[in-house]
Amino acid sequence: MATLHTVNKTGQPLELCLRALNAGDNVLLLEEGVYALYEASDVLSDLLKHVAVYVLEADVLARGMTNRDNLDIGMVDYQGFVELTEANDKVVSWF
C-alpha cells in the first residue's frame, strides 16, 4: 500500500507531506516544489533515508535549478510521473 506524494510548493505543502509519509512511499517535487533542492536540501537528504524522491524535469529546467548538492534524486518526465502513479497504490497531492 505505497503512496505517491506530489508536492508543488516548499513551505506548508512540503512540511505537511513530511509528516504523512510511510516507509516505501514516493515523493515527487513539481512546480515550485522543485525549489526544495535549494531551500530544503538538508530536509531532502534526511528524507532520502526512508523514501525515494523525484523531481519533474520540465519544472526543474524551467526554473534554472540544478541538483547542485548531488542529492540522490531521480529526474522524471511526465511519462515517469505516470509510471510513479502506476507503481503506487494511490496519489496524495500537497499544494
Partner 1 sequence: MSQTLCIISTQAPYRGQFAKEALDAALVSATYDIPTSLLLMGDGVYQILDGQSPEQLGRKNLSSMFQSLELYGIETVYVDGESLEERNLDPEQLLPLYTLLEGDAVASFLAQHDKVLSF
Partner 2 sequence: MKYALAVYGAASTGQSSLTALSFARALLVSGHEVMRVFFYQEGVHNATSLTSPPQDEQNLPEQWQRLIAEHDIDAVVCIAAALRRGVVSVDEAERYELSASNLREGYELSGLGQLLEAAVEADRLVTFGD
Sites of contact with partner 1 (CB under 8 A): 1, 3, 12-13, 15-16, 19-22, 31-32, 35, 38-39, 41, 58-59, 61-66, 90-95
Q: Using the rule CB under 8 A, which residue among 16, 43, 48, 91 binds partner 2?
A: 91
Please give the backbone phi and psi of residue 42, each rounded to the nearest 5 degrees, phi first. -65, -45
Binding map of partner 2 across residues 6-45, x = CB under 8 A, - = no contact: x-x---------------------xxx-------------
- 35 touches, from partner 1, partner 2, none (C-beta below 5 to 8 Å by class): partner 1
**What is the residue-wise DSSP string for 23-91?**
TT-EEEE-GGGGGHHHHTHHHHHHHTTTSEEEEEHHHHHHTT---TT--S-EEE-HHHHHHHHHHSSEE
